Amino acid sequence: MVLTSLSPQESPSPAYICPLDQACSYLEEAARELKLDRSIIDILSNPRKVVTVSIPVKRDDGEVQVMAGHRVQHCDILGPYKGGIRYHPAVTLREVSALAMLMTWKCSLLGIPYGGAKGGIAIDPKSYSIGELERITRRYTSELIKDIGPAVDIPAPDMGTSAREMAWMMDTYSVNVGHAVPGVVTGKPLSIGGSRGREMATGRGVMIIVREALADLGKSLVGTRVAIQGFGNVGSAAALLLHQAGAKVIAVSTGMGGVFSDVGLDIPALKAYAAQNRMSIVGFPQAAAISNTELLTLACDVLIPAALENQITEDNVDRIQARIIAEAANSPVTLQANQALEARGIMVLPDILTNAGGVVVSYLEWVQGLSYVFWDEERVNRELENLMVQAYRQAIQQTKVRQISLRLAAYTLGVGRVAQAFTDRGLYP
């Protein structure tokens, strides 16, 4: 199977739901629906390249720490690899491999000429100074110098990284090749070739897909009760845009705790409060305290898990009361929980569609960087909306034609297009 050389310390505990196994299960399900040849399934089940590099870094106190950095390149049949770089203690090679595979289907589903990749380092960025993070990022980039590039593999920000890290990566790569290469990463600052609209892109995509799903049910965002787990870049952007569109965001949580208000939270004020309190929303005035666990089981119209994977599981799925679940995070609903939700008639908006706004605007940033012609935010948002709505409509049509769930419809489109490209290109040699 996939990645049989993984080290023993990455073996999951009995209660752990492996994201790679889950990703492969969805691939198998889509392949059965599409009646794909076994050889195609075997090719798509394995990443094309797995790179693990040693990163020795001098800490501020003079101590040298050696850490491992991963980059998994799943499939480039449709174009260059594309995917984020995450700094998080839970990063493993299996997790990164699963996310790289999901990125392949996501790009294919959205009609973007990219293949999937993902990278990461198992560190808590809060435990390092800015200088240490810069040294980690630059050394990691230099070790990957032969494996990335604007026509090869284009990294982007992910959990624990931001435009700052992308600027360091772009500079390190550019210095090594001898000239500025803005297209080597996306999610950069505007000053060095970033795109307007990128910071809000994933959250905007979530809002668009939720809006379209509600419209299909004869409803609008106005007055819709929404609960959001996670108030980072994605969750906070989605919350603000939904609030501005008239939705009632009744609960928000972070790893430190959450807040609830039955009449709806003042999201602009909550963002300002978080910015003043090191991104903590605990103690926000005119709101009651709520835990992550309680938030997931609130009575609401739309539940948006925008934090980590494996949040809705067999343990809590029976208590979910939302009518729609929008996966703003990657794999927040387990395979077994997803089956239970579908059986109950709860609509699940799958991650490879719902959180695709970031990679869409990353693609638009890459296009602008290659052409050296940059667009205003209105055009970026318009292009984003067109691609997101088109992908949603195609997936909904697939549910009707094949009589399948929206998740399986999204996977059949994403996997099917990649499989067709393999058939058309043939196998070398």
Enumerate the CATH 3.40.50.10860 domain ranges in the chain, comma separated. Answer: 47-182
Give the pLDDT confidence score for residue 279 in this predicted structure. 84
Give the pLDDT confidence score for residue 138 in this predicted structure. 98
* Mean pLDDT of the 36-41 span: 94
What does each C-alpha distance from 341 to 27, 225, 294, 316, 323 come to in angstroms? 19, 19, 18, 11, 10
CA 3, chain centre distance (Å): 22
Give the pLDDT confidence score for residue 158 in this predicted structure. 92
In this predicted structure, the answer to whether residue 98 has a pLDDT above a threshold of 90 is: yes
The verdict on whether 271 is a catalytic residue reads no
Fold of the domain spanning 47-182: Rossmann fold (3.40.50)
Enumerate the CATH 3.40.50.720 domain ranges in the chain, comma separated. Answer: 201-354
Give the pLDDT confidence score for residue 14 in this predicted structure. 40
Give the pLDDT confidence score for residue 191 in this predicted structure. 95
Order of strands across the sheet with 64-73?
49-58, 64-73, 115-121, 81-87, 153-157
What does each C-alpha distance from 19 to 67, 100, 368 come to in angstroms? 22, 11, 33
Q: Rounded CA gap, 146 and 79, in Å?
A: 17
The CA-based diameter of the chain, rounded to the nearest angstrom, is 66
Give the pLDDT confidence score for residue 10 in this predicted structure. 42
* Mean pLDDT of the 188-211 span: 96
At 281-321, the pLDDT tens digits run 999 998 999 999 999 999 999 999 999 888 999 999 999 99
At 306-361, the pLDDT tens digits run 998 889 999 999 999 999 999 999 999 999 999 999 999 999 999 999 999 999 99
Contact present, 324 and 302 (Cβ < 8 Å): yes
Least confident stretch, 131-135, 207-211, 255-259: 255-259
Residue with tokens 């790179």, as numbered in its chain: 51
- Omega within 30 of 0 (cis) for the link into 429: yes
Residue 16's pLDDT band, with cuts at 50, 70 and 90, is: low
**Token digits of residue 375:** 């667009």
Place domain 201-354 in its CATH homologous superfamily.
NAD(P)-binding Rossmann-like Domain (3.40.50.720)
Q: Which stretches does DSSP call E strand in 148-247?
A: 153-157, 225-229
Give the pLDDT confidence score for residue 7 in this predicted structure. 38
Give the pLDDT confidence score for residue 286 in this predicted structure. 84
In this predicted structure, the answer to whether residue 202 has a pLDDT above a threshold of 80 is: yes
Residue 8's pLDDT band, with cuts at 50, 70 and 90, is: very low
**pLDDT over 90, % of the chain:** 89
Say whether 241 sits in a helix, a strand or coil.
Answer: helix
Provide φ and ψ at 256, rounded to 5°.
-90, -5
Question: Which amino acid type is present at position 112?
Answer: I
Active-site residue identified among 82, 118, 188, 271: 118
